[in-house]
Amino acid sequence: LDLGVLVSGRGSNLQAILDAVAEGRLDARVRVVISNQADVEALSRAERAGVPTRVVSHRAFADRAGFDAALVSALREAGASWVVLAGFMRLLTPTFLEAFPDRVVNIHPALSPSFPGVDAQQQALDHGVKLTGCTVHLVDAGTDTGPILAQAVVPVLDGDDRAQLGARLLEMEHALLVQALGWIAEGRLELVPSAAPGGRTRA
Candidates 67, 112, 70; CA nearest to 90 is: 67
**Nearer CB in complex with ligand GRF: 37/201:** 37
Give the nearest distance from C-beta 168 to ligand GRF in angstroms: 11
Shortest distance (Å) from residue 88 CB to ligand GRF: 7
Under a CB-based contact definition with an 8 Å cutoff, are residues 186 and 26 in contact? no
Q: Check if 137 is active-site.
A: no
Helix (H) or strand (E) holding 130: none
Residues 6+ apart with CB under 8 A from 131: 111, 153, 154, 155, 156
With the CA atoms of 191, 193, 197 and 200 taken in that order, what torsion angle do they form, in degrees rounded to the nearest 10?
Answer: -40
Measured at the alpha carbon of residue 82, what is the angle toward residues 81 and 88, in degrees to the nearest 5? 135
Rounded least distance, CB 193 to ligand GRF, Å: 27
Amino acid code (one letter) for 155? P
Residue number of the CB closest to ligand GRF reads 87
Q: Name the catalytic one among 108, 127, 137, 174.
A: 108
- At a CB cut-off of 8 Å and minimum separation 6, what does 111 contact? 131, 132, 133, 134, 135, 151, 153
Question: CB 177 → ligand GRF: shortest distance, Å?
Answer: 8
**73 annotated to a ligand binding site:** no
Check whether 26 is labelled as a binding-site residue: no
- Annotated binding residue 172: no
64 is in an annotated binding site: yes
Nearer to ligand GRF, 7 or 78 (CB): 7
**Binding site residues, ligand GRF, CB under 6 A:** 9-13, 86-87, 107-109, 170, 173
At 94, is the secondary structure helix, strand, or coil? helix
Q: 71-83 burial string, b = 16+ CB within 10 Å, else e?
A: bbebbeebebebb
Q: Is 36 annotated as a binding residue?
A: no
Nearer Cβ to ligand GRF (68/173): 173
Q: Nearer Cβ to ligand GRF, position 78 or 84?
A: 84
Active site residues: 108
Annotated binding site: 11-13, 64, 89-92, 106
Annotated binding site for (6R)-10-formyltetrahydrofolate: 64, 89-92, 106
